[in-house]
């Protein structure tokens, strides 16, 4: 019979970690003194302090942050609510948020919702139960907007990347979606395109709407809109459907994000069309794969990292100092990356 493989297990359950009382008793002082030795909040006799510190080391005492938080009324932890961490855009955003949080000694709870309303609600519950001091909210599912609205009146919440329809007075950091759409519109127009297919995101998400608006205005030509859901599959499906029905009579496609652009690219390739010779394609986000794709995707670079970092820094400035940040709204600049997937319009052919 083999020996118990996990001494780990036993130790965890059996040995109770040392508390401040244990240290105080062993050092022959009061818990108050121990606390002050560790915090430096008031002077302690050097001799006493040394004795306490030695006991702390011997017992391996580490203050229970939970008790500290209960006493202090805050946990030094915030949440980051996003739909999908495996989307590189949100991963970059998360990195910025984590950096900003770490800079101020805050922890960050990853709230990945997959656009699921129940999941989002559960995570928002963490702020109501005051387990987190605040929440950076990036693009949730529309159904929870009402609940969000109620929360924003009571708890610190900052919006990142995505405006929420009808919500105002909020802290918000977002890329300039409208300008991004405009840049693509101008670019395609300059290339001689006059008829374009626009793959939008869900109407409820303002970022996608803004991109579409900026595009339509700047492009000037004829634009057919199809509503997608920001997933690769929907970009594929929308374009494939149009091709099947022979209804793709345009020379350019603008997808409201790169994933849908990739879907479109696949559908076009399967139909035997060449990008950009037969048709141009542009995306939005500039995820890592965009520059590595074949052809490299013309797209709008979003400062995802900065969006996450800025929104979080704003939130924390508010959380830590109880201050209203100097600017409640940050609109971060975007940049058009012209790559190989767009080219001058060719004569329209029947398909």
For the record, the structure tokens of 18 come out as 């040392």
Report what 8 binds from a second copy, DNA, none; CB cut-off 5-8 Å by kind.
a second copy
| Closer residue to DNA in complex, CB, 28/333 | 28
CA distance 197 to 249: 9
Coil, helix or strand for 195? strand
| Closer residue to a second copy in complex, CB, 149/186 | 149
| Closer residue to a second copy in complex, CB, 7/57 | 7
- Considering only residues 32 to 91 of the shown chain, the ones binding DNA according to CB under 7 A are 32-33, 35-36, 38-39, 41-45, 47-49, 61-64, 66-68, 70-73
- Considering only residues 180 to 209 of the shown chain, the ones binding a second copy according to CB under 8 A are none
CA distance 165 to 154: 19
Report what 321 binds from a second copy, DNA, none; CB cut-off 5-8 Å by kind.
none
Segment interacting with a second copy, rule: CB under 8 A, options 82-90, 176-184, 249-257, 275-283? 82-90
Instruction: Give DSSP secondary structure letters for 281-347.
Output: EE-SB--HHHHHSSSPPBEEEP-HHHHHHHHHHHHHHHHHH-PPPS-SEEEE--EEE--TT--PPPP
The binder of a second copy chosen from 21, 54, 110, 269 (CB under 8 A): 110
Segment interacting with a second copy, rule: CB under 8 A, options 11-19, 42-50, 236-244, 277-285? 11-19
Segment interacting with DNA, rule: CB under 7 A, options 30-38, 114-122, 249-257, 321-329? 30-38
| Closer residue to DNA in complex, CB, 4/46 | 46
Contact present, 312 and 100 (Cβ < 8 Å) = yes
Segment interacting with a second copy, rule: CB under 8 A, options 46-54, 118-126, 182-190, 273-281? 118-126
Hunting for tokens 């011997």 — which residue is that?
Answer: 58
Segment interacting with a second copy, rule: CB under 8 A, options 107-115, 177-185, 233-241, 278-286? 107-115
CA distance 202 to 230: 8
| Closer residue to a second copy in complex, CB, 149/335 | 149
- Considering only residues 201 to 230 of the shown chain, the ones binding DNA according to CB under 7 A are none
Report what 318 binds from DNA, a second copy, none; CB cut-off 5-8 Å by kind.
a second copy
Report what 194 binds from DNA, a second copy, none; CB cut-off 5-8 Å by kind.
none
| Closer residue to DNA in complex, CB, 321/350 | 321
Region of 334 on the Ramachandran plot (φ > 0 left; ψ -120 to 50 alpha; else beta):
beta
Pairing, β 252-255 against β 195-200: parallel
Which candidate, 229, 233, 148, 223, places its Cα nearest to that of 185?
223
CA distance 325 to 323: 6
Q: Which residues contact 294 (CB under 8 A, 6 or more apart)?
A: none
| Closer residue to a second copy in complex, CB, 128/195 | 128
Contact present, 297 and 135 (Cβ < 8 Å) = no
Say how many residues touch a second copy, by CB under 8 A: 64
Coil, helix or strand for 205? coil
Q: In whole angstroms, how close is the CB of 111 to DNA at the nearest point? A: 22
- HEC per residue, 74-118: CCCEEEEEECCCCCHHHHHHHHHHHHHHHHCCCEEEEEECCCCHH
Segment interacting with DNA, rule: CB under 7 A, options 17-25, 247-255, 260-268, 288-296? 17-25
Report what 57 binds from a second copy, DNA, none; CB cut-off 5-8 Å by kind.
none
């Amino acid at each position: 019979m083999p020996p118990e493989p996990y001494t780990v297990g036993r130790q965890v359950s059996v040995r109770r970690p040392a508390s401040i009382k244990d240290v105080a008793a062993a050092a022959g002082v009061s818990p108050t003194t121990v606390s002050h030795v560790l915090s430096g909040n008031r002077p302690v006799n050097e001799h006493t302090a040394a004795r306490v510190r030695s006991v702390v080391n011997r017992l391996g005492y580490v203050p229970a942050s939970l008790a500290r938080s209960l006493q202090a009324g805050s946990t030094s932890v915030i949440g980051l609510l996003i739909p999908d961490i495996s989307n590189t855009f949100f991963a970059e955003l998360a990195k910025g948020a984590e950096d900003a949080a770490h800079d101020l000694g805050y922890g960050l709870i990853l709230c990945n919702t997959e656009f699921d309303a129940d999941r989002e609600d559960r995570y928002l519950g963490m702020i109501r139960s005051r387990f987190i001091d605040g929440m950076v909210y990036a693009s949730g599912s529309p159904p929870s907007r009402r609940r969000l609205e109620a929360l924003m009146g009571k708890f610190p919440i900052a919006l990142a990347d995505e405006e929420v329809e009808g919500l105002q007075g909020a802290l918000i950091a977002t890329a300039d979606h409208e300008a991004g759409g405009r840049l693509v519109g101008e670019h395609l127009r300059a290339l001689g395109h006059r008829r374009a297919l626009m793959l939008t995101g869900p109407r409820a998400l303002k970022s996608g709407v803004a991109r579409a608006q900026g595009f339509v205005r700047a492009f000037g030509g004829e634009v057919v809109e199809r509503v997608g859901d920001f997933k690769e599959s929907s970009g594929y499906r929308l374009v494939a459907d149009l091709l099947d029905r022979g209804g793709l009579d345009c020379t350019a496609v603008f997808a409201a994000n790169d994933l849908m652009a990739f879907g479109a690219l696949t559908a076009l390739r399967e139909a035997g069309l060449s990008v950009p010779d037969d048709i141009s394609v542009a995306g939005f986000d500039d995820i890592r794969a965009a520059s590595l794709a074949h052809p490299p995707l013309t797209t709008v670079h979003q400062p995802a990292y900065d969006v996450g970092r800025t929104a979080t820094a704003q939130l924390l400035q508010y959380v830590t100092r109880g201050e209203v940040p100097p600017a409640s709204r940050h609109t971060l600049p975007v940049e058009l990356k012209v790559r190989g997937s767009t080219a001058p319009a060719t004569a329209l052919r029947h398909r």
